[in-house]
């Protein structure tokens, strides 16, 4: 079940993007001169201190925030307003409490006016892919935090978006569940070929999941550096954690983030 776009061109493009939020009393620069190209099928993770504009960056790609200056493109088209060709997963699953897991997933189909039969087949594929079989009718309060996030992920993937944006989706989970969800997400990414951009505060998560890690400065957010992740395509959590390449990159990222904070 591949949803990858053609492997030509750029999935996401940002050039000279600056974002300023203005109120009656003050003006805040959230992002300053950010340029970033993401190719189809990449898994790009973004790390940086709180308040550096990571979430704002995702919202710009989604067309939910308009940059003060600069250009943004999605699938080689300028972003002008909210984009339909994305999936978005937030830190909280935001499920409807009165709907079961499958019904929550299919909410996406109702909102988009998708063909019912096609959406039902797709939902069943995703339920099987994410290990939710047997929990189709379970209400959110009957599911663990990790399972709720699986439902949210299925909902975001229902319309087979070529680009998936994820804003700290596992930040509220316990450490073990978070590791399990990281492994699950990486497997799903390999199987679907979707372009993924994930924001996280966790250096370990950024390195484990990413094909590239983007490091941002304290506010106003700028891209300090981008690192390629030289780890196997198929990643076992225990093996990756003991891989010297993982340790070297995590240490370098930690030092860079610490230095940026100290010099800010």
Parallel, antiparallel, or unpaired: how do β-strands 43-47 and 212-216 relate?
Answer: parallel
Residue 169: closest CA among 197, 129, 210, 133 = 197
Under the banding of pLDDT at 50, 70 and 90, the label for residue 264 is low
The whole-number average pLDDT for the span 116-135 is 93
The whole-number average pLDDT for the span 228-252 is 92
**Structure confidence by residue, pLDDT tens digits, 99-114:** 999 999 999 999 899 9
**Structure confidence by residue, pLDDT tens digits, 130-166:** 889 999 999 999 999 999 999 999 999 999 999 999 9
Count CA within 13 A, CB hemisphere, residue 171. Answer: 17
**Confidence at residue 45, expressed as pLDDT on a 0 to 100 scale:** 97
Integer Cα distance of 151 and 127 in angstroms: 8
Q: Are 154 and 127 in contact (CB under 8 A)?
A: yes
Integer Cα distance of 202 and 115 in angstroms: 38
Token pair for residue 129?
């892919």
Q: Are 253 and 47 in contact (CB under 8 A)?
A: yes
Which residues, other chains included, contact 66 with Cβ-Cβ below 8 Å and sequence gap of 6+?
60
Q: What is the pTM of this model?
A: 0.91
Token pair for residue 70?
């600069």
Model confidence at 261: pLDDT above 80: no
**Confidence at residue 177, expressed as pLDDT on a 0 to 100 scale:** 86
Residue 58: closest CA among 137, 165, 210 = 165
Q: Where in the chain is the domain with CATH 3.40.50.300?
A: 1-85+163-264
**Structure confidence by residue, pLDDT tens digits, 181-223:** 899 899 889 988 999 999 999 999 999 999 999 999 998 999 9
Under the banding of pLDDT at 50, 70 and 90, the label for residue 2 is very low
Integer Cα distance of 95 and 83 in angstroms: 21
**Structure confidence by residue, pLDDT tens digits, 41-95:** 999 999 999 888 899 999 999 999 999 999 999 999 999 999 988 999 988 888 9
The whole-number average pLDDT for the span 118-132 is 92
**Confidence at residue 123, expressed as pLDDT on a 0 to 100 scale:** 95
Place domain 1-85+163-264 in its CATH homologous superfamily: P-loop containing nucleotide triphosphate hydrolases (3.40.50.300)
**Confidence at residue 22, expressed as pLDDT on a 0 to 100 scale:** 86
């Amino acid at each position: 079940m591949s949803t990858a776009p053609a492997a030509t061109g750029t999935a996401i493009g940002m050039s000279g993007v600056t974002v300023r939020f203005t109120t009656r009393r003050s003006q805040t620069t959230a992002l300053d001169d950010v340029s970033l190209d993401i190719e189809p099928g990449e898994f790009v993770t973004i790390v940086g201190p709180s308040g550096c504009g990571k979430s704002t960056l995702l919202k710009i790609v989604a067309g939910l925030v308009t940059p003060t200056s600069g250009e943004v493109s999605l699938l080689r088209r300028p972003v002008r307003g909210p984009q339909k060709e994305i999936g978005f997963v937030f830190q909280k699953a935001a499920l409807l409490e009165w709907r079961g897991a499958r019904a929550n997933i299919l909410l996406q189909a109702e909102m988009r006016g998708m063909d019912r039969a096609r959406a039902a087949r797709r939902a069943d594929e995703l339920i099987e892919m994410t290990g939710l079989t047997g929990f189709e009718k379970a209400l959110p309060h009957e599911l663990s935090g990790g399972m709720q996030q699986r439902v949210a992920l299925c909902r975001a993937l229902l319309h087979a978006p070529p680009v998936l944006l994820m804003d700290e989706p596992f930040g509220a989970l316990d450490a073990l569940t978070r590791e399990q969800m990281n492994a699950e997400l990486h497997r799903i990414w390999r199987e679907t070929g979707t372009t993924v951009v994930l924001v996280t505060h966790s250096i370990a998560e950024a390195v484990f999941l990413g094909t590239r890690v983007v490091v941002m400065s304290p506010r106003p957010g700028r891209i300090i550096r981008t690192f390629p992740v030289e780890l196997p395509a198929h990643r076992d959590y225990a093996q990756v954690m003991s891989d010297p390449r993982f340790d070297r990159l995590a240490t370098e990222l930690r030092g860079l983030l610490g230095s940026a904070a100290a010099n800010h």
